[in-house]
Amino acid sequence: MPIETGYIKLDSFLKMINAVGSGGEAKLVISEGYVLVNGSAEIRRGRKLYPGDRVRFQASEYEVKAA
C-alpha cells in the first residue's frame, strides 16, 4: 500500500487499508497483539511504518510502499 509521507502510524495504516472501521477498533486489535509488523506482534498503535515494512492482520499481508 503506497504512502505519501516518509512514514505512517500503524493505526492510521490499518484504517487506510480498511482493515478496521475506526481508530478505536484499530487500538483494540493492536493492543491485543493481533497485528504483526515484520513478523513480530506489535502492541504500539503509534508504531511508525516505513516503506518496506510488512503488516499482517487477519490472514492478509500488506507491504508499505512509497508513493
Q: What is the pLDDT of residues 33-47, one digit of tens each?
A: 999 999 999 999 999
Cα–Cα distance for residue pair 50/6, rounded to 1 Å: 7
CA 38 to chain centre: 10
CA 20 to chain centre: 10
Structural domain tally of the chain?
Answer: 1
Q: What is the pTM of this model?
A: 0.93
H helical segments located in the chain: 10-16, 23-31
Domain holding 12: CATH number? 3.10.290.10
Domain that holds residue 48: 2-66
* pLDDT tens profile 7-27: 999 999 999 999 999 999 999
